């Protein structure tokens, strides 16, 4: 069993339109940055929205939290670190840390939880087969377990 | 044949998140205000996005223009006046005037053009039946014409 | 001392542009709905962003959480209930419940925390005078206390 | 006098949150893509929003047009080509072409016009000194002219 931490770093430039009248990134836009991070993670590890969609599974967000530490400004680059949080339940959790530019200055941290829905919009209580395989391949399920 | 000008007025409060770092509504948000105007018009006259969708027709925007006259600010209410522009071709044109609050001060004017697509995303060169009927009912097609 | 619960209800129509490719409101847009609720609350009780701004105090969001229960769709109206959460510390907390249309169906719940910054962007550890007065006037600070 | 065409290419990945319920990028988001193009141009040629801001000049958009040719979809990359349009009047015009991925397929074209305002929000009828110098340096004003 491989033991590794699944993490991905991506970056996005702060857009003029994302800055509010206080001169800092409007707090709601961090939700987009988390999404940028999640998508970059999905592309890197082969587990993005479309990978689930193809097997008839949708993965809506059911919970989001964000803690704002420092303001991001126009001209800044947001470095988004997305970390997969392994859990047994049929859900998908990511933790995020956003840094200002390429420094160690943390501007925000947060978390999202997604669940699995089938084509009838019914909640799946078991892991989709595709996701179990993916977890096994990344050493996140001990051999022998389902 | 009735002769009338089809026009609708609606209003929307400027959101904090719509204001940019210059303290005025970010120019891209006027596209949302036009959409608010178009939807209010569609609700009033029975010709909105869903009315077309139900008959298998989609009406994507193919052209937009906006002229900015004065800045809208936080605390302002945008009054959106949407006017149907009658044309023979198979398209849907609206002109917009946005006023600040309930004054005659024009802050922006603009226009959108939409076309008709069938379920295969093919351009319709003739008016959809539903739309012809709608135009007749509002005196926009002379009796006897199709 | 008056004893009351400070709560405000406002509504906002779901915009076409707020709906994502799954046909439901994109999760990030609930942050705007919370803001709509907070602003309506501030207008009603005289404690909005501009009331603080006038005395040189800014009130940035430092934490947000949102739990998604049911999807909001195009055509829905979001009814946003905003509730002031009284706490002794120098912060401003609101809890939110979003209902679908005028039913009792809860589509989301959430919370925001704001802090107070002076003009030098320094954190204020004591309640601004204006806010203390406001709390007293609403029976949120027992008589005799500061 | 150097003779050159001032053009810049940049790219931006379509975000999930930018796609509407018809499965294509919502038309209002092209305004953001134009802004991405304009900012990349400004960074490349030293003429961005902040360069003007430093000399007390603001450059609000006064007109925007966009023609939509083909839909952009989730997973696409928008390649934005921004071209400086030289004109004698005290304004700033850019033309844009957006391509799908790295192909020659044009998905949209458009244009923006910006004017110059001083710190009192008054319209400047002459080119700001900084902008004249910039134009000369790029061969856009014949030698001897102001």
Q: Is the dihedral of CA D66, C33, B36, B59 positive or negative?
A: positive
Touching check for C39 and chain B: CB below 8 Å?
Answer: yes
Q: Quick check: ipTM above 0.90?
A: yes
Residue C73, strand partner residues: C24
N- to C-terminal Cα distance for chain C? 14
The CA-atom distances, in angstroms, between C127 and each of A70, C48, C84, C93, D33 are 21, 15, 16, 13, 43
Residue A146's pLDDT band (boundaries 50, 70, 90)? Answer: low
Helix (H) or strand (E) holding A83: strand A77-85
Which residues in chain C are closer than 8 Å to B16, comparing Cβ atoms? 35, 39, 49
pLDDT at residue B1 greater than cutoff 60: no
Q: Tell me the average pLDDT across A81-107.
A: 95
| Nearest residue of chain B to residue A22 (CA atoms) | B21
The strand pair at A91-100 and A77-85 is best described as: antiparallel
DSSP string, A24-73: BB-GGGHHHHHHHHHHHHHHHHT-SHHHHHTTT-B--EEEEEEEE-S--B
Beta strands in chain B (DSSP E): 7-13, 61-68, 77-85, 91-100, 106-115
Which residues in chain C are closer than 8 Å to D17, comparing Cβ atoms? 20, 26, 28
The whole-angstrom distance between A76's CA and the closest CA on chain B is 14
Residue B2's pLDDT band (boundaries 50, 70, 90)? Answer: very low
- Predicted confidence (pLDDT) per residue in C15-55, tens digit: 999 999 888 999 999 999 999 999 999 999 999 988 998 99
pLDDT at residue A1 greater than cutoff 60: no
Touching check for C22 and chain A: CB below 8 Å?
Answer: yes
CB B115 within 8 A of CB B60: yes
Nearest to B15 among C36, C50, C74 (CB): C36
Residues in chain D predicted with pLDDT less than 70, given as ranges, are 1-4, 143-146
- Predicted confidence (pLDDT) per residue in B73-120, tens digit: 998 999 999 999 999 899 999 999 999 998 999 999 999 999 999 999
Q: Do D20 and C17 touch (CB under 8 A)?
A: yes
Q: Do A17 and D36 touch (CB under 8 A)?
A: no
Nearest to D35 among A15, A35, A39 (CB): A15
Touching check for D19 and chain C: CB below 8 Å?
Answer: yes
Which residues in chain A are closer than 8 Å to C123, comparing Cβ atoms? none
Compute the 3-state secondary structure of chain D and give helix, strand, coil in percent, each to the nearest 5: 25, 35, 40
Q: Do D75 and A50 touch (CB under 8 A)?
A: yes
- Predicted confidence (pLDDT) per residue in B123-132, tens digit: 999 999 999 9
Residues in chain C predicted with pLDDT less than 50, given as ranges, are 1-2
pLDDT at residue B144 greater than cutoff 70: no
Q: Which chains touch B (3 or more CB pairs under 8 A)?
A: A, C, D
Q: What is the pTM of this model?
A: 0.92
- What pLDDT is attached to residue C145? 60
Q: Do B17 and C39 touch (CB under 8 A)?
A: no
- Predicted confidence (pLDDT) per residue in A17-55, tens digit: 999 988 899 999 999 999 999 999 999 999 998 899 899
Nearest to D28 among C17, C19, C28 (CB): C17
Residue B22's pLDDT band (boundaries 50, 70, 90)? Answer: confident
| Nearest residue of chain B to residue D69 (CA atoms) | B62
Region of residue C120 (left: phi > 0; alpha: psi -120 to 50; beta: else)? alpha
Length of chain C as a residue count:
146
Q: How many helices (H) and strands (E) does chain D have?
A: 3, 5
Touching check for C103 and chain D: CB below 8 Å?
Answer: no
Query: Tokens 């001392």, residue?
Result: C1
The DSSP 8-state label assigned to residue B88 in this structure reads: S
Which tokens sit at D35?
């802004």
Distance CA B133, CA D65 (A): 31
| Nearest residue of chain D to residue B117 (CA atoms) | D22
Q: Is the dihedral of CA B36, B39, B45, B47 positive or negative?
A: positive
- Predicted confidence (pLDDT) per residue in A47-78, tens digit: 998 899 899 999 999 999 999 999 999 989 99
Q: Kindly report the backbone phi and psi dihedral angles of residue C85, in degrees, each rounded to the nearest multiple of 5, phi listed first.
A: -105, 115
The DSSP 8-state label assigned to residue B24 in this structure reads: B
Query: Tokens 């590890």, residue?
Result: A45
- What pLDDT is attached to residue C146? 53
Distance CA B84, CA B42 (A): 10
- What pLDDT is attached to residue D1? 41
Which tokens sit at B8?
């609708």
The strand pair at D91-100 and A91-100 is best described as: unpaired
The CA-atom distances, in angstroms, between C79 and each of C7, C11, C106, C108, D133 are 13, 4, 9, 10, 55
Distance CA A107, CA A124 (A): 35
């Amino acid at each position: 069993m491989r033991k590794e931490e699944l993490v991905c770093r991506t970056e996005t430039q702060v857009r003029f339109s994302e800055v509010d009248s206080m001169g800092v990134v409007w707090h709601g836009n961090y939700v987009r940055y988390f999404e940028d991070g999640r998508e970059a993670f999905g592309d890197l590890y082969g587990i993005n929205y479309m990978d689930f969609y193809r097997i008839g599974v949708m993965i809506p967000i059911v919970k989001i939290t964000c803690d704002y530490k420092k303001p991001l400004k126009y001209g800044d680059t947001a470095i988004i670190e997305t970390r997969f949080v392994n859990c047994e339940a049929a859900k998908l959790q990511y933790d995020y840390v956003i840094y200002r530019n390429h420094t160690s200055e943390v501007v925000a941290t947060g978390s999202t939880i997604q669940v699995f829905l089938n084509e009838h919009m019914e909640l799946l209580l078991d892991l989709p087969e595709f996701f179990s395989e993916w977890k096994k391949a990344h050493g996140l399920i001990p051999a022998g377990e389902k």
